[in-house]
């Protein structure tokens, strides 16, 4: 019995160490506080849709590329809204600079693909919840992939990218930031 308990504790410690190692964060925002330049650039939001900087560390062994999603599950009456999709980000990359995915995405790493957000255009679209709709949660998920190229159809829907990334992931790192107006 004691030996079994010892193995169980060791397994839990090993799993906890692996689960917490892969992390993503942003030096650009803090929970609930976004500079106006990062907000959506549609009328009424006052932003410029400058993509936030992201940094990550400790990807799983065997990572060959990354896929990134930014999703607001609170939008559209709980149906959600995709703000940012990018994939085929090389494994050598450890983060994205501020503005990397803004509009043209010309500052994204070589080979990376920017998908179309819920706005129908490729690149980052900043938070812009309707006034009075409460606090929205913006979930950034970075998928560590075991392949250099994510298999997606041409012009995939955001959901297709997320499913393909999740099904190919060696690991996931998530961070959630909130914003409301």
65 is written with which tokens?
């590329």
The backbone region for 77, taken as left when phi is positive above 0, alpha when psi lies in -120 to 50, beta otherwise, is left
**Is position 12 within any domain?**
no
**Is position 137 within any domain?**
yes
Rounded average pLDDT over 16-35: 81
**Is position 10 within any domain?**
no
CATH code of the domain containing 103: 3.90.280.10
**Is position 109 within any domain?**
yes
Phi, psi of 166 (to 5 degrees): -60, -40
DSSP secondary structure letter of residue 30: B
User: What's the confidence (pLDDT) of residue 5?
Assistant: 41
**Is position 60 within any domain?**
yes
Phi, psi of 109 (to 5 degrees): -60, 150
**Is position 48 within any domain?**
yes
Task: State the chain's mean pLDDT as an integer.
Answer: 89
85-112 pLDDT, tens digit each: 999 999 999 999 999 998 677 899 999 9
**Is position 16 within any domain?**
no
User: Do 137 and 106 touch, CB atoms closer than 8 A?
Assistant: no
160 is written with which tokens?
């297709």
Ordered DSSP codes for 97-117? -TTTTBTT-TTSPTT-EEPB-
Range of the domain at 127: 22-179
Who wins on pLDDT, 82 or 103? Answer: 82
**Is position 1 within any domain?**
no
Rounded average pLDDT over 145-168: 95
User: What's the confidence (pLDDT) of residue 165?
Assistant: 97
Tell me the whole-structure pTM to 2 decimals.
0.87
Flag whether pLDDT at 168 surpasses 50.
yes
Share above pLDDT 90 across residues of the chain, in percent, rounded to a whole number: 77
The band of 32, judged by pLDDT with boundaries at 50, 70 and 90, is confident
Q: How many domains does the chain have?
A: 1
Flag whether pLDDT at 38 surpasses 90.
yes
Who wins on pLDDT, 19 or 8? Answer: 19
């Amino acid at each position: 019995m004691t030996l079994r308990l010892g193995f169980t504790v060791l397994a839990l410690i090993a799993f906890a160490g692996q689960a917490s190692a892969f992390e993503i964060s942003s030096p650009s925002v803090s929970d609930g506080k976004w500079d106006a330049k990062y907000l959506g650039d549609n009328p009424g939001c006052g932003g410029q849709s400058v993509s936030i900087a992201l940094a990550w560390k400790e990807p799983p062994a065997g990572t060959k590329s990354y896929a990134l999603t930014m999703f607001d599950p609170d939008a559209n009456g709980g149906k959600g809204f995709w703000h940012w999709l990018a994939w085929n980000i090389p494994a050598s990359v450890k983060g994205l600079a501020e503005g990397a995915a803004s509009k043209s995405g010309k500052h994204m790493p070589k080979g990376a693909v920017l998908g179309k957000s819920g706005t129908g255009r490729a690149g980052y679209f900043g938070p812009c919840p309707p006034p009075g709709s409460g606090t929205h949660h913006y979930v950034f998920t970075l998928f560590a992939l075991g392949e250099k190229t994510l298999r997606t159809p041409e012009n995939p829907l955001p959901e297709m990218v997320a499913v393909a990334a999740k099904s190919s992931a060696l690991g996931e790192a998530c961070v959630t930031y909130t914003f409301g107006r």
